[in-house]
Structure 1
Amino acid sequence: MDAIFHEKQEGSLCAQHCLNNLLQGEYFTPVDLSSIAHQLDEEERMRMAEGGVMSDEYRTFLQQPSGNMDDSGFFSIQVISNALRVWGLELMLFNSREYQRLMIDPINEKAFICNYKEHWFTVRKLGQQWFNLNSLLTGPELISDTYLALFLAQLQQEGYSIFVIRGNLPDCEAEQILGIMRVQQQQRPKLIGEDEAQGSSGQR
């Protein structure tokens, strides 16, 4: 499990953690994602300007905050999508008609990105095993093949949007190691802060 790259939550930078945990390395910084967001904002501004820079719509648009990022470190699906395109990867909505028509068993995919209320996280296959690489967890969580479909269905029920990653992910150490050996997990990772919360309530 030590070979698995797992970035833990810092501030509201879950989009960065989600991408880096997916790609298994420190591929993106907040600065990288901010520049993608600014680029998208500029493209949107130019499209709006086509309707005339004196129009009410354009003026209203200029007064609105960016829809691609905010001061807390949140980034939109467009930013994530553009960041993945750099690596030749595409996103496809898991419950879209287009994807459902392909009738692919989730265990035959390579990775999923999940989003709910501005929190992003990655579920990825490494070797022959699946892992929940949520940055809110203290470490990677092993997901059995039989539980994967149930896990994704549960997320959808809770209101998550799930995206399938299409394309070839970059090589990583964890992929090579877990390709020749399987790991077992005795104890599931907790949510970050859960230990402290239990400790302080115990002390009280």
Structure 2
Amino acid sequence: MESIFHEKQEGSLCAQHCLNNLLQGEYFTPVELSSIAQQLDEEERIRMAEGGVLSEEYRTFLEQPSGNMDDSGFFSIQVISNALGVWGLEPLLFNSREYQRLMIDPVNEKAFICNYKEHWFTVRKLGQQWFNLNSLLTGPELISDTYLALFLAQLQQEGYSIFVIRGNLPECEADQILRIMRVEQQHRPKLIGEEEAQTSSGQRTSLQHASETRHGMEEDEEELRKALALSRQDMEVEDEEADLRRAIQLSMQGVSESSNTTGCKEVGEKPAMTPAPVEATTGGVSEGSLSESLTTEELRRRRQAYFDRQSQQAQPTSPHQQDTTTAGEEQGTGCKCSQ
């Protein structure tokens, strides 16, 4: 396949690519084809002038643009025919009566050139195999002998004009190599625009995927920051509640110990053992464990109630109570504060 000459599309120079792919070399340039087109325009002008340079037809002809070329690089079949005539070649319309009378199998021909909407391309036999040398393809396309007739029929159905190339084509390296060997093609070449579109699409997909991945990572980081913030808030609240419970528990322990060590006892009663600094119990349940099971608000209410009772006990006694107490001391049956 590397030995096959294949010009790819540049601008609108498909006629040039068609001729060079047909002849398998850089035989024509846009300047040379433009020169042929200008020569044809001059010949047409001379023929139109024969009817009179003052005629309406002649003035209309001069006002019209050239029918053999334009600024985009298009060249007419007349230009291509004159260019092929330099090499002794002649294009013959494939579906013309003249050719149909010959009843030649397309496989036995040497080459075809095809045109549709100002686009030209070549189909040529190299060695014993046929190739589609369309300049819009990324490379030569192998066409089997069985498929050739169907391929040409499909082109005609799509509106293509097909010309058979009659005459001896110049020798080329690809024809010599493919006479002694055959090639196989695993993948058909793509259109140039199709390949670029797929490449661009692949790039867009990669960029989009990278963007989505980056956006997803940013969302994950934001969620993680929120979760950590909430966790810290919960920990702070839990720490404050735990500190409050411990403070209430310690204060209640301190009050209980004070009442046990400074209270009064009956005369003759055995001295009370100083209680060990253990948690006060209520109904067999330790105050520490009880405070752990109560809510913060309940602990506050119980603590306030205890302080209220203490304040009531600390109020001064009445005169009647003082007299009774004095009499009791004289008889020795009252109680006195322990030293």
What's the TM-score bracket when you normalise by the shorter of the two chains? over 0.9
Gap runs ≥5 in structure 2: 205-339
SS at match of 1:21: helix
RMSD of the alignment, in Å? 0.6
Q: 1:116-195, aligned counterparts within 5 Å? A: 116-195=116-195
Residue matched to 1:75: 75
The structure where strand makes up a greater share of residues is: 1
Structure 1 distance, partners of 2:3, 2:42, is 39
- Higher helix residue share: 2
Q: Secondary structure at the match of 1:193?
A: helix
1:4-28 per-residue CA deviation (whole Å, 9 max, x = no partner) reads 0000000000000000000000000
Deviations 1:134-180 (A, max 9, x none): 00000000000000000000000000000000000000000000010
Q: Greater CA deviation, 151-160 or 191-200?
A: 191-200
Return the alpha-carbon distance in structure 2 between the equivalents of residues 173 and 112 of structure 1.
Answer: 19
- How many Å separate the matches in 2 of 1:202 and 1:2? 28
- Mapped to 2, the partners of 1:24 and 1:103 lie a distance apart of 28
Q: Hey, what's the Cα distance between the residues in 1 that align with 2:51 and 2:153? A: 43
Aligned equivalent of 1:29: 29
Q: Alpha-carbon deviation of 1:198?
A: 1.3
CA drift at 1:110: 0.0
Q: What's the % identity of the aligned pairs? A: 91
How much has 1:202 moved relative to structure 2? 3.3
Provide the C-alpha distance between the structure 1 equivalents of 2:132 and 2:142, rounded to a whole number of angstroms.
Answer: 6
Q: Which runs of 4+ in 1 moved over 3 A?
A: none
- Matched residue SS, 2:5: coil
C-alpha deviation, 1:199, in angstroms:
2.4
Distance apart, 1:195 and its partner CA: 1.8
In 1, distance between residues paired with 2:5 and 2:203? 34
Instruction: State the Cα distance separating 1:40 from its structure 2 match.
Output: 0.2
- CA deviations on 1:69-103 (whole Å, 9 max, x unpaired) are 00000000000000000000001000001101100
What is the DSSP-based 3-state SS (H/G/I as helix, E as strand, rest coil) of the residue aligned with 1:112?
A: strand
Q: Point out which structure has higher relative CO (alpha carbons under 8 A, 6+ apart).
A: 1
TM-score (norm: length of structure 1): 0.99
Does 2:49 align with 1:58? no
C-alpha separation in 2, matches of 1:19 and 1:118: 14
Within 5 A, what are the aligned runs for 1:75-114?
75-114=75-114
Report how far residue 196 of structure 1 moved.
1.8
For residues 199 and 64 of structure 1, the distance between their equivalents in structure 2, rounded to whole angstroms, comes to: 43
Please state how far the C-alpha of 1:201 moved relative to its aligned partner: 2.4
Deviations 1:12-52 (A, max 9, x none): 00000000000000000000000000000000000000001
Provide the rounded CA distance (Å) in 2 between the counterparts of 1:57 and 1:195: 48
The aligned length equals 204
